[in-house]
Amino acid sequence: HPVADVFWGNEEFRTRQLAAQQVFLPTNGWFAFGWRSRRVMINTNQVDLADAPKSLLELTNAVWRGHVALAYPLFGTTATHFAALRQHWGDEPWTDWCRGLRANDAFIVDGNSVVARMVARGEAWIGLTDSDDFQVVAGEHATVAELPLNDESLLIPNTVGIVRNGPHPDAARRLAEYLSDPNVARALVEAGALEGAELDNAPARGLQPDWAELLANLEDTTRRLSGLFVR
């Protein structure tokens, strides 16, 4: 029996996973609003913008050995990003890239905020993180920059789902309606939690995952990542 009425998630993939498991109401059970993004950030004391990698594939180059940080890619937005990159590049290039990151002594750490702080302190030169984590350290350190969005970037909307057979269905609908108000997304933008309030006006650049395929391959992708990034 559900104990929650509303699921408010800060990314899309796991919400789609729950929807596929029929956790939410069958009609209009969930929606997305606002957006942030997966970002590559650099420490500008260590890396000139002109010399920064143009593709994530370059992170396995020897010049970046021991200078790249990313969150453990079995969880959160990093897991979603890696799954989408597997679909985008194909299995063999993706596997080679993952192995290359490990062989290149990338830092595998506990969360995107850790990545952002490591880059800000110069402990890593390049980091894969989320835009909100970048904004936190950018407000404290002038020596960080985020690279422009490209075809390997991933937009990350907030999501809200109304739980099927939740204990307080009327209150759940009211909360979901409140969260769908554009003023909520605007407030989150002002707080630095989102980059943009309107998904319809989000940048066109970035990965466009086939979510059904990603879900179908989730178990295999998770197993592969667990083997590639064993700790």
Give the tens place of pLDDT for each residue, 86-121.
999 999 999 999 999 999 999 999 999 999 999 999
Asked whether residue 231 carries a pLDDT value surpassing 80, the answer given is no
Q: What is the mean pLDDT of the chain?
A: 96
Q: Where are the alpha helices (DSSP H) in the chain?
A: 13-20, 76-89, 91-103, 112-121, 131-138, 169-179, 182-190, 211-216, 218-228
C-alpha–C-alpha distance, residues 145 and 81, integer Å = 20
User: Looking at residue 28, what is its pLDDT?
Assistant: 86
Q: Which DSSP string do the residues of 1-37 spell out, in sequence order? A: ----SEEEESSSHHHHHHHHTT-B-SSS-EEEEEEEE
* pTM of the predicted model as reported, rounded to 2 decimal places: 0.94
CATH number for the region 1-231 comes to 3.40.190.10
Query: What percentage of the chain reaches a pLDDT higher than 90?
Result: 93
- Express each pLDDT in 169-214 by its tens digit: 999 999 999 999 999 999 999 999 999 999 988 988 899 999 999 9
Instruction: Give the domain ranges of the chain.
Output: 1-231
Measured in whole angstroms, the distance separating CA 59 from the mean position of its chain's CA atoms is 18
Asked whether residue 139 carries a pLDDT value surpassing 90, the answer given is no
Measured in whole angstroms, the distance separating CA 1 from the mean position of its chain's CA atoms is 30
User: Looking at residue 204, what is its pLDDT?
Assistant: 85
C-alpha–C-alpha distance, residues 141 and 44, integer Å = 10
Pairing of the two strands 155-162 and 144-146:
unpaired
